[in-house]
Structure 1
Amino acid sequence: MWDSISRFIPRLRWIVLLALFTVLFAITRIPATWAAHFMTQGSTLGLSGVTGTVWSGQARMASVRIDSNDYSLGALRWELNPWSVLTLRPCADVAADLEAQRIEGRVCAGLGGAVTVTDTSIDAPASLVQAGVPVPVDGLLAANIQRLRMNQGQLVELSGNLSWTNARIQVQERWVSLGSYAAEARYDPEPEALIADVFDLDAPVDIDVEARLPLAGGIFLNGELTLSDAFSDSLQAREWLPMVLEHRGSNRYRVNLQF
């Protein structure tokens, strides 16, 4: 009996391998429209102009809805990890391009509309966030998402960093150069807010501020900043900045604002 079993085991391995390769081959033949239906079902992702296969496909235009706002991602391409399909948690390497905006990373879809984003880089012009800023802005935004998890379109986890290089704002029809800044970002589940620890990289403003953005709305800033003498003089900051921030002497100011 044991001799029969020992002879059957090698055959069983080949049967299992054949079954796996059959499944993977079938996946490569499934049209990309099936993948688009799966990815958009119960999620906030929108796709149009889909071509290719589940294994390797593209969409002419992609968009995502976050907190009731639609954001365009541009043309989207994906390469599916076939082994992840067997675990019912498909993961794909994705890339999206829209003018000066570029996204590259890995996205995994789970049951119930859960989406996890890891090891993802985003490069975009600062004008992308113009709608949430009271003055015209310029420069380059670069974000690195170590891990982001959403469930039914709601953010539940985030860790990563963000930089704003060659930053400029327009003040009374004049562009003012601010230098470069960065922030370490995370998600605080209590009370559901994005937290960003902001600091300067190469700038005329020495800044150490915590920005808190509750998902319910609003912006809270808390920390300190110090302006260089030349930058302060160019803006005549000593005349008007104490009306907005608490003056701590010289060019130092306490930041405690709510919007």
Structure 2
Amino acid sequence: MTKNILTNFWMWLGLVALLLVLIVARVPASFAAYAFTQAIPGLSLAEVQGSLWAGSAGSALLSVERDVYSLGRFQWRLKPLSLLTFKPCANISFAFQSQSAKGDVCAAGEQVQLANFNVNVPAELLDLWFATTLAGDLSLVVNKGTINGLRVEALDGNLSWRNGALLNGDSWIALGTFGANLTADNQGGVNAELVDLGGPVIADLDINYNRILRPNDPIGVIIKGEIGVRDSAHPELQKFLPTMASAIGEETERGYAIEWQQ
């Protein structure tokens, strides 16, 4: 009798799963596009085609304050069994010129979960936030992450900046390559342990980004640690960085111990 009950249970579960797949396959892609734009503030999708199950948007735009940034072609493939948990999950990707992203996203209300998520963008994207022009390649890897509204509830990832450079007038000044481990600070923000990988700039910094704790701070960042320049650094960098660091820190054997907040 127990065997028959289990057999019937799995049979009905299979039928429910099949029904969900059939339903999802017939729902238009616009439903998924609406869900993505609600889950990601500032995201807008156009030229939507396909279905809720698997679809794409020919043009994806992300608004950051007053700036609009193109993500290019946006694609998704829904995981139908995730509908049973009322937390829909999809594998998404976007690509445009030298930038790309791919990974798994799950959403429930304002909570968004990321897994095996990789983002590659040019450093010039940072021009949206900083009043300077940068070069190099930024790579973000989120092994696991949970975001609820503006709060970062969990994070395991890393960030790298390869071949970093700063535009000083008409010339580029090499900064080097940097890496950072990323974790949640348990207060809604992000901790980053940033180090240099042997380039012109010496960096061993603990960075905290938290707009929840510092809502009136336009950047929301606290930086502590050590920074300096090596003999191989550009002459302009050897003048500029020590001057800036000495204003907010104390001199050490390798550079300056600093603590900075906007």
TM range (shorter): 0.7 to 0.9
- The one-letter code sitting in structure 2 at the alignment partner of 1:79 is R
Q: Structure 1 residues 250, 151: CA separation in 2 closer, same or farther (over 3 Å shift)?
A: closer
TM-score normalised to the size of structure 1? 0.83
CA distance 1:28–1:177, shift in 2 (3 Å): same
Do the aligned partners of 1:67 and 1:154 also contact (CA within 8 Å) in 2? no
Matches of 1:113 and 1:197, distance apart in 2: 28
Q: Secondary structure of the equivalent of 2:35? A: helix
Which of residues 82, 88, 91 is equivalent to 1:90? Answer: 88
Task: Please list, as runs of the form range in 1=range in 2, the aligned pairs for 1:56-205 lying within 5 A after superposition.
Answer: 56-64=54-62, 72-110=70-108, 112-152=109-149, 154-190=151-187, 192-205=188-201
CA displacement 1:54-89 (0-9 Å, x = unmatched) = 111111223456789765432210111111112211
Cα distance in structure 2, aligned partners of 1:72 and 1:250: 44
* Shift of residue 158, structure 1, vs aligned partner: 2.9
- Where structure 1 has 5 or more consecutive residues not aligned to the other structure, the ranges are none
Which of residues 256, 259, 262 in structure 2 aligns to 1:256? 259
Q: Which residue of 2 aligns with 1:237?
A: 239
2-structure distance, mates of 1:160, 1:70: 26
1:31-42 matched pairs, under 5 angstroms: 31-41=28-38
State the shift of 1:193 in Å.
3.3
Q: Select the structure of larger CA radius of gyration.
A: 1
- Partners of 1:165 and 1:180 within 8 A in 2: yes
Report the AA paired with residue 160 of structure 1: G
Return the offset for 1:228: 1.6
User: What does 1:6-25 align with in structure 2 at a 5 Å threshold?
Assistant: 10=7, 13-25=10-22
Q: Output the CA distance in 2 between the equivalents of 1:151 and 1:226.
A: 37
The yes-or-no answer on 1:212 pairing with 2:208 is yes
Aligned to 1:223: 225
Identity %, equivalent residues: 26
Structure 1 residues 215-237: Cα deviation after superposition (integer angstroms, max 9, x where no partner) = 12243221112422232756443
Distance in 1 separating the partners of 2:6 and 2:195: 61
Compare 46-55 and 135-144 and name the one that shifted more.
46-55
Distance change (3 Å), C-alpha of 1:21 and 1:180: same
CA contact (8 A) 2:151 2:189 kept: no
TM-score (norm 2): 0.82
Cα distance in structure 1, aligned partners of 2:260 and 2:146: 29
For residue 229 of structure 1, give the secondary structure of its aligned residue in structure 2: coil
| Secondary structure at the counterpart of residue 244 of structure 1 | helix
Mapped to 1, the partners of 2:147 and 2:238 lie a distance apart of: 44
Within 1, Cα distance between the matches of 2:68 and 2:146? 18
Contact 2:118 2:141 in 1 (8 A): yes
CA distance, structure 1, for counterparts of residue 155 and residue 83 of structure 2 = 25
- Higher mean C-alpha displacement, 75-84 vs 230-239: 230-239
Rounded to whole Å, the distance in 2 between the matches of 1:17 and 1:172 is 65
Deviations 1:3-34 (A, max 9, x none): xx977875665454334323322222222112
Structure 1 counterpart of 2:198, one-letter code: D
1:255 deviates by: 2.0
Distance in 1 between the 2:3 and 2:161 partners? 64
Alignment partners' CA distance in 2, 1:71 and 1:222? 31
> Structure 2: which 5+ residue stretches go unaligned?
none
CA contact (8 A) 2:116 2:142 kept: yes
One-letter identity of the residue aligned with 1:248 = E
In 2 relative to 1, CA 20–257 (structure 1 residues): closer, same or farther, beyond 3 Å?
closer
Distance 2:209 2:9 in 1: 56
Alpha-carbon separation, structure 2, partners of 1:156 and 1:65: 23
Q: Spell out, residue by residue over 1:86-132, the C-alpha distance to the aligned partner (whole angstroms, 9 max, x if none).
A: 2211111110112221010000011x232111110000000011122
